[in-house]
Structure 1
Amino acid sequence: MGTSVTSLPFKKIGEFDLIEIIQDAPYSLSVRAFQPGLKRPVFVKLLKPRVQNHQQWVERFNREAQVCAKLKHPHIVDVYTIGKQDEYIFMAMEFVPGISLRTLLDKEKKLSLTISIEIIRQLLSALDFAHQHQVIHRDVKPDNTMLDIRGQVRLTDFGLAYLGEEMTLTQQGSILGTPAYMSPEQVTGEVLTPASDYFALGAMFYEMLSGIKPFAGENYTACIQKILNENPLPLKQRLPEIPVKLSDLINRMMAKRPEDRLANPGQIVSVLGKIQSEPKSVSPEHELARLVKKYYVTAHPGGETPKTESAQTTGSKKPVLKQKRWVLPLALIVLLSVLLIVLLLWQGTNRQAKTNLAEIPSPVTIAADTFEKTTPAKDSISSIKTAQKKLPPGRAKFAKNTSQDLKAVVGNKTEPKQGLPAEKEEKSAGSAATETPPAPLPATGPGLLEIELSPWGSVSLDGKLLDSMVHRSRFRISPGRHRLVLSHPEFAPRIVEFQSRSGKTERVNYSFLEKAGFLSVEVRPWAEVYIDGKFFDTTPLKRLITISDGEHLLELKHPDYPTFREMVTITPGDTVFIRQRLDL
């Protein structure tokens, strides 16, 4: 749901009226807007003032505008203009009435052969055009693929694009991207060719048909290990109904070596045409449009309203028949009857509920929202509405979180079962004791506070430390207003204010990893790794370093060589790869 205009930095920027915030990301705002002069909806992206001192992000922002403005193609999002107002740099581009492929896959899990081939066919057209203009996208993935309500596909987010022989935006020895779709040569930092984009496209094709990421791992290191050294299970073995030619095609698109990879769009289209040669009564674009509308109309009730299915398939509008006069009175009679029955049932059940109220604690789930790194966040129970997925305890398991694990599950209304035993702190590796569920709380007296933190943290209530290392714990608390502080030495603290009531159970479920990123460091010959002046580990690292988002000072120290220093910018859910030789 968008944010009201009062939350926007401006009501108007340039010639565009800002309507609502679509996404509030750490470094940018995505806004739905309108251009009165041309009477068209517009998508506006604003770079936040606090990141404009980070040259890398400004260059990436400008790069996206320059690339998209250069690539005028029906399957590439069009950029209209770029400018600056006060402290905000902004970019206005084509508004796509639809959803991302990631959203569709999250809803449908996997797609039909017809729809998958249609999406790939349109993306092939976009990538072929970009490659002809010496542009390599470098971040092809479902999140950067938009599907509109007319069955058209758009490739977006060229912020990491590589332009011919120009220098990349990443600093020497570092790599940015999404590991699950990165080619082996992109992981190792080699010179990229268009074949790298086709590797990502093959991984997307595999995922659309099977619902499984071909290189998914329990953490980023495992994911990269699979990309470099393992071949995914052939699609034919997962889905026997898939044609052998298609399974072989996708395998060739994901070949480890660029020279072995099928990276010719003409050949790929030719194979797809042979697989789907039979004419269909409904066009693939229409099938895709129908699926997108299923979720777009629900998610954007105030957005562009698509034509009805009948109008699209027949090309004519059907007249709406007038309702008969007796329909409305009959409906009112039925409605009043239902209300009367519900009222009688409620009166009976309400008496029984009152007798048992003292025995049944009423749980309230509190899941802390996202926070800014520099300023501790502060929320009340009424304003917190997300529930975080459970993550395994222990600092040693930081890296076992993919970017999907870090996203909050919004709108989860399932209440935990009463009396469910909670895990105590781990007493030994591989074993955990269970504690007896608490007895029902009386209607008067203390309340109960249940806390679950990922990976762990210290808990203070009203300025008093309750426990210094909590994964899952219970505390009895007095009724009244309380201030809860959740702390972890490597992340910004979280502050939650809530009202405790007698006989009630309040639950806090929060993950410090929600806005964390990852850092992979490889050094020759070896080095001690310091971040913001604090020692972390000695290379070779046994796991990725998990740190909060934002800018950090990385130092690599070796007794025989000068200290290497570099500022690194961490984005939630992404991994920054640093490779450095100190002996040169």
Structure 2
Amino acid sequence: MMETGYAVNGRYQIIRPIGEGGMANVYLAQDLILDRQVAVKVLRLDLRNDPNTVRRFKREALATTELNHPNIVSIYDVGEENSMQYIVMEYVKGTDLKKYIVKHFPIPYQRVVDIMTQILSAVENAHAHDIIHRDLKPQNILVDEAGNVKISDFGIAIALSETAMTQTNTLLGSVHYLSPEQARGSMATKRSDIYSLGIILYEMLTGMVPFEGESAVSIAIKHFQDAVPPVRDYDPRIPQALENVVLKATAKDPDERYSDVGQMTTDLSTSLSASRAHEPKFVPSQGDMGETKVIPALDPEGITRQNDAPEAKPKDETEVKDDQKKKQPHKKSKRKWWFVGLGVVLLVMLGVFAAYAMQGSEVTVPDVTDMTQENATAALTADKLKVGKIQKTTSNKYSKGHVILSTPGKGMHVKSGSTVDLTISTGRKKYEIEDYTDKPFTDVSTLLKQKGLTVVRKYQSSRSVASGLILDQSIAAGEKVVPSKTTITLTVSSGKPSITLRNLSNYTKQAVQDYVDDVGLTVTFSEDYSNTIDEGLVISQSPGSGASIQEGANINVVLSKGKKAPATKSFTKSITIPFDNSLATSQSSTSSSSESGDSSSTSSSSSSTSTATTNKITIYLEDSTHSITSVYKEMTITADTTVELPFTIKADQAGRFRILRNGQEILSDDHVTN
């Protein structure tokens, strides 16, 4: 198991495992050069010392690199690192067809036809290159998230030229999809793939495989003995024409199957057509299904042994003579078959010779990495190879015009005259500069640094662009640059122009207003008392003198109201003025009549006397508003009288009063504070 983060060949960084097989483990990885996700198939550790497995693993890469089809998983790279064989291939995000069937069954017939058509197209392309897959099964067919199908795992696929005389000594491929001829141990053909395709179609229509058993051998025997159950027995709604595609593809006799994949595709494309609604059922011949045959063993070289045939019983002389008599009329026929047999032997010998010739004409792909395209072409030509497709991409590791990789990769054994695709560097990956004006510097700087650029900032004031936004850039928008070699200078707005504030002490209000109008500031005035600054002049300012502020900013100025008057307090004082009765004034009145001259009568009258008693009071008061030299109040009293004297005095002073009665001072206080 490979650890997450490990970079295969320093390039394919492992993300996580995504699959395990009998021969290899598959990992999701990041291609650090081409910046894409790939699947890396790595030969299992316990199989790396098995030459047959290594050869089979390499054969998969060789077989698939010859194919270029949208429904076949692409091979990007092949290599070896520390005795670890690996194949880098296209990453298909999705699931395999086996799981797809389980999840979506029952699948609509039209969708079945669509999926099958894509599979057939891929197999037809492989057959066109004389490559037989030999292990077609739903587990080797991937379905991406968009529903597209791709065939993978050409691990046991072999070109026809390599299999003309050889077979492995085991049954290959999944036994559930194995053709009868493969189950017998015979050589696989293109029609063997067609049989497997028929079984896959059967499973998509029924959700199950046609044959099950307790062992692989019992299932294999059913493939060449038992007829494939009709799909309409499972679902009578399936059109007969669609069932016929399954029956014809899975005929026991290869000659009764479709002659090629293209013919099966054509038949499948009209299987849902109303014009074929009443089509009769296809009935293949039973062949030798009832005969049980032993699968022949294979010798170490892979040639089928012939000594397993049953021995003939000895015949007596009479039987021999009878046989000779019977065979005499067929001498011509016997001679004819003798020539046919001789021809077969010659073909076999030619096949063996061709196989060895092909092995002898194999060449090793040279290491052309980091060569110029011209030198790489020359190196491949010298090794009897041809340059195939040229793909160009950016690279931070390889110079412009140099080879990044070849497919097949270095060290791979391929047939002489094969094509090798090259990926050529167009130089370092460039980044296109955008228009960053009026965008926040912090956001743009973070983005550019992530891309690898060096960012320099400088400030400039602006009356129209807010502080922190970009005013200008040193590299024009649309220009493409190599990030690691590029420094970009961004001019950032510091806001409106700054002003160094003047000292406004002792300025008048008008002088301050004239100044702020001249430099583009605004001002807010306030007032306060000052014992040192004359009224109307500036006491203080905020910000202070020398401060740097932006144009349009507001300042606060405090003007003097002059010295502050001391605080005063007001109160009343109750005074009781005593009444002095001894000093009271009296007033009397007498009236008499005149005496008449008459001596005989005399009359007189006397009036009563009335007396009024009062004291005259004069009050003097001194405070903040009254003077002691001025009469505050005059009044007369006839009894003891209480008066309320109001005082308003400063905090640091005292009031006083004097009260006179009939001109004489009777009460006074020179220190009245409350």
Q: Provide TM-score, normalisation by structure 2.
A: 0.40
Structure with greater Cα Rg: 2
TM-score (ref. length: structure 1): 0.46
